[in-house]
Amino acid sequence: MEKEVIFDSNLHFEHQRWRSELDFWEDELKSFNNRLSELVTRWTKKEVLKQLEHYQNEFILHGGVIDGMREDIEEHEASIVGHSQMGKEILDIALVKKHLEFREHIETQRQIYADLKKEFFRFLAKHM
């Protein structure tokens, strides 16, 4: 059985993809918050305002998650750079394990964010 070799450059590339995805999510959240601002001026019903507050809180929480994920990526990048500076092209088991765990985390977050967007779009269709 042949072992898969994971190179620093492959992980770096994946980190770049993740950063781009996080940038996109952040831009979307700005747009969603603009929509919330529009709706606040249109609606006075407590029920709708409560839902608006719910989405505002969700977007704030998701923004915090994005910030945390960016920090995790930067920390891992620093580990990779340190590893590369030692003249090693292949990562050790601990760094790869950490990367794979983060990959699972971002995949989970993708699903959470996708579900939030679907829910928010349904809400917008009903109240815009």
Write out pLDDT tens, residues 67-97. Answer: 999 999 999 888 877 766 666 655 667 778 8
Q: Which two tokens stand for residue 94?
A: 């601990």
pLDDT value at 1 more than 60 = no
Percentages (nearest 5) of helix, strand, coil residues in the chain: 85, 0, 10
Question: Which pTM was predicted?
Answer: 0.84
State residue 90 phi and psi, 5-degree precision.
-110, 130
Find out whether 48 and 39 touch, Cβ atoms under 8 Å. yes
**Diameter of the chain by CA atoms?**
65
pLDDT value at 6 more than 70 = no
Listed residue (87, 79, 66) closest to 22, CA to CA: 66
Write out pLDDT tens, residues 10-65. Answer: 888 999 999 999 999 999 999 999 999 999 888 888 998 999 999 999 999 999 99
| CB-CB neighbours of 2 under 10 Å | 4
